[in-house]
Structure 1
Amino acid sequence: MKKLITNRRTFIKSSAAGAAILAAPAYLRSTAARASGTVNVWTYANFIPDDFKAEFEKETGIQVNVRLVDDQGKQFNLLAAEAPNPTADIVTVAGHRFLQFIESDLLSPLDTDRLSNWGNINPIYSESDWSTINGNKWGAPILSGAEVLAYNTEVVSEDEVKSWDVMFADKYKGQTAYIIQDMMSVMMLYLGYDGNMVEYKDDPEKAAQIVKETRDLLIENKDMVRKFYDSGAEVQQMFVNQDIVLAHAWNGPIASLIADGFPVAMTIPKEGSYGFVYTLNVTNNGPNTDNAYKLLDALLAKPEIGAQMTKASGFISTYKGADQHLTELERKASSFTEEELAGLQFFRAEANDMKYKLLDPAVEEIKAA
């Protein structure tokens, strides 16, 4: 059983578990990094499939130098230390971290006119509100993670999980679980509010009222919950032990259960949920910008490539039609219908300081109630 840690704040850091930041090889420390026949990519393990890399190098003569990263903060610090002349041409930034990189002038606005295959990305990912900042696109979405409603298919019906209401159904009392802080954002959405709290950034009283209403909802239904959990391994074990039949969870641990043949499925209910997107970004003043665009366009060329990325990484492909190149079991573990995806919103960071000042005490109050 894979042990995937899925607390929202640590999910980004741990999603490429086992990948270590590599010491900078010689070519990244020398002027050779600016040779026209190379492109330097900082990314997570398995995000650029080996077969694709070999084919691209053979067809173009461009050498793809991959440096593995395992943490958004470390990547930011490394790139900031090299500014204004980075060795990296492409970096991998989660959409809700864009502002930090953009405000530090580390990324170049993405010229989508140079990407003939841009239209191969599902617009749910490429055209969502998080993807455009200051009138510009800043990255090519490649993979996504989402908060889902997971359920035991031998006990809970597909019709029952069309709404988050099922988490509060008397028939499943004591058989549900969730991560409180992550659930708070989803429940704000369930109640009709902006779980990112960007809408209330200039209205702290409204923000406080919404958090209080959400807190009270979870306190009122606290007796429905078997356990407030912290890690993906915990929710996996609870499903396996049949301690629970319903859970709010990140898709990664549930995908692992599905792949292992356990009778569990996941969905995004009609009220929606939240997720994040990994994007490939062109650095500001990178040494091989032309080659960076050639690599990005090649990566976006075929849905088969998106499927390869999903198989290797475990994340959800953003490519149109990628699911058609997955087995039935792989589709169950890593894809959603268009109807489900229509309810998926994405984390944004603009109001995070205010949001977590309100959420953190509310979480403790729910635990103590």
Structure 2
Amino acid sequence: MTKLILNRRRFLGTASITGAALASPAYLRRAMAQSGGEVNIWTYNDFVPEAFREQFESETGIKVNVRLVDDQGKQFNLLAAEQPNPTVDIMTVAGHRFLQFIQSDLLAPLDTDRLSNWSNINPTFSESDWSTINGNKWGVPILSGMEVLSYNTEVVSEEEAMTWDTLFSQEYANQTAYIIQDMFSIIMLKMGYDGNMVEYMDDPEKAAAIVEEAKNFLIEKKPLVRKYYDSGAEFQQMMVNQDIVLGHSWNGPAAALINDGFPLGMTIPREGSYGFVYTFNIANNAPNSENAYTFLDALLASPEIGAAMTKASGFISTYKGASEYLTDLERKSTVFPDEQLANLQFFRAEANEMKYSLVDPAVEAVKAA
């Protein structure tokens, strides 16, 4: 998966939200039964809203210690080095990285019965196939990013943007762009296959045939594309310069343009797309597991908290009702209708070794064609 390019501070501007809007006082009174102590969290910048953190500490007596991380691999290595006695209670793991952490016994299975506010999460994020491994839940979905079809709303209609076919149409020849490696998963899904290739782990010949079919499709459509790009900044520049009017992109760079006032829209087309979810996970042998569950339940207590996380981070909230606490512009750049979210699938890692051993050379073949 290509790295998401996103300037979180620029994305939505202000990250502020009042402490009074961040949590239900009734819930926090229940949390007052806690006896204080601390909870240690490794996460990305702005994933714990500061106003929520301050109110949580005030109402529960639990001190929240946040250590910022910027790389999943570094976090894995640090956590592995600390086992069996980690210093962290909660860390942030992307759903498609679960397997690596689980197989190394670094995460504790999540007991959702201890989270009275679990139902506040949109089931698109909490109940999808990626979220259950070996019969257990492993993380609390908090924020999401996804691949979308982005379009200049002054040129392309929303109806046209509801299908990936428009990206490959003669009407917009040489006015489109996409990240070619990421498009392989989309094309396989569009053709009715499992773009994660998990279904074909025991049938490598079928997997190879599917990648070959996707490769041939992209070669056939190559004359229509203006550019295979690599970074979100490239996509943004091509849109602003009107070199393209339609493109596959990650939602982050697209949303940044929307918030800058550019006439851009984005959809999850009816054929489907792929996304990833950031989750809060409890470390195996966490030193403060009770406080960790108290923190997570408080974080899920109200949609205002989800909205605050979106405002601060720029990613899409997993909370039901979070959009009600966003401005019109923020909703336009971070909210999708439920019927579009139903088209979303999530990246899984089980078949990655096989998948990319086939996709990587296919990508080079398309480029060379």
Q: Same fold (TM over 0.5)?
A: yes
Which AA in structure 2 matches 1:317? S
For 2:3 and 2:260, how far apart are their aligned partners in 1?
Answer: 24
Q: What's the offset of the Cα at 1:16?
A: 7.5
Deviation digits for residues 331-358 of structure 1, max 9, x if unmatched? Answer: 1111100011001000000000000000
For 2:36 and 2:287, how far apart are their aligned partners in 1?
Answer: 8
For 2:336 and 2:299, how far apart are their aligned partners in 1?
Answer: 22
Which AA in structure 1 matches 2:315? F
On the 8 A contact 2:36/2:60 being kept in 1, the answer is no
Deviation digits for residues 315-335 of structure 1, max 9, x if unmatched? Answer: 000000101111111011111
For 1:9 and 1:41, how far apart are their aligned partners in 2?
Answer: 26
Which AA in structure 2 matches 1:182? D
1:10 aligns with 2:3: yes
1:168 aligns with 2:168: yes
Counterpart of 1:182 in structure 2 is: 182
For 2:220 and 2:302, how far apart are their aligned partners in 1?
Answer: 49
Which AA in structure 2 matches 1:242? Q
Counterpart of 1:343 in structure 2 is: 343
1:41 aligns with 2:37: no
Q: What's the offset of the Cα at 1:36?
A: 5.6
For 2:8 and 2:282, how far apart are their aligned partners in 1?
Answer: 25
Q: What's the offset of the Cα at 1:182?
A: 0.2
Which AA in structure 2 matches 1:113? D
Q: What's the offset of the Cα at 1:162?
A: 1.2
For 2:279 and 2:6, how far apart are their aligned partners in 1?
Answer: 14
For 1:74 and 1:36, how far apart are their aligned partners in 2?
Answer: 30
Counterpart of 1:21 in structure 2 is: none
Q: What's the offset of the Cα at 1:10?
A: 2.8
What RMSD in Å do the two structures reach over aligned CA positions? 1.2
Residues 1:16 and 1:290: Cα distance change in structure 2 (over 3 Å): farther
**After superposition, where does 1:224-235 map in structure 2 within 5 Å?**
224-235=224-235
Counterpart of 1:352 in structure 2 is: 352
**Identity in percent:** 72
Q: What's the offset of the Cα at 1:217?
A: 0.6
Which AA in structure 2 matches 1:10? K
Counterpart of 1:261 in structure 2 is: 261
On the 8 A contact 1:17/1:70 being kept in 2, the answer is no
Deviation digits for residues 87-143 of structure 1, max 9, x if unmatched? Answer: 000010000111111111111000000000000000000000000011100000000
For 2:111 and 2:7, how far apart are their aligned partners in 1?
Answer: 28
Residues 1:114 and 1:65: Cα distance change in structure 2 (over 3 Å): same
For 2:332 and 2:341, how far apart are their aligned partners in 1?
Answer: 14
For 2:161 and 2:188, how far apart are their aligned partners in 1?
Answer: 18
Counterpart of 1:99 in structure 2 is: 99
Q: What's the offset of the Cα at 1:9?
A: 3.8
What is the DSSP-based 3-state SS (H/G/I as helix, E as strand, rest coil) of the residue aligned with 1:42? strand
Structure 2 unmatched ranges of 5 or more? 10-34
1:87 aligns with 2:80: no
Q: What's the offset of the Cα at 1:17?
A: 7.4
Deviation digits for residues 34-83 of structure 1, max 9, x if unmatched? Answer: x9610000000000000000000000010000000000000000000000
On the 8 A contact 1:16/1:70 being kept in 2, the answer is no
Which AA in structure 2 matches 1:194? D
Which AA in structure 2 matches 1:244? I
For 1:189 and 1:42, how far apart are their aligned partners in 2?
Answer: 34
On the 8 A contact 1:39/1:292 being kept in 2, the answer is yes
Q: What's the offset of the Cα at 1:247?
A: 0.3
Total equivalences in the alignment: 344
Counterpart of 2:71 in structure 1 is: 71
On the 8 A contact 1:145/1:277 being kept in 2, the answer is yes
On the 8 A contact 1:110/1:139 being kept in 2, the answer is yes
Counterpart of 1:244 in structure 2 is: 244
On the 8 A contact 1:16/1:45 being kept in 2, the answer is no
Counterpart of 2:50 in structure 1 is: 50
Counterpart of 1:110 in structure 2 is: 110
Counterpart of 2:304 in structure 1 is: 304
Which AA in structure 1 matches 2:284? N
Which AA in structure 1 matches 2:297? D
Which AA in structure 1 matches 2:39? V
What is the DSSP-based 3-state SS (H/G/I as helix, E as strand, rest coil) of the residue aligned with 2:253? helix
Which AA in structure 2 matches 1:129? D
On the 8 A contact 1:16/1:44 being kept in 2, the answer is no
Q: TM-score under structure 1 normalisation? A: 0.92
> Segments of 4+ in structure 1 off by > 3 A?
14-18
Structure 1 unmatched ranges of 5 or more? 1-7, 19-34
For 1:352 and 1:9, how far apart are their aligned partners in 2?
Answer: 14
Q: TM-score under structure 2 normalisation? A: 0.92
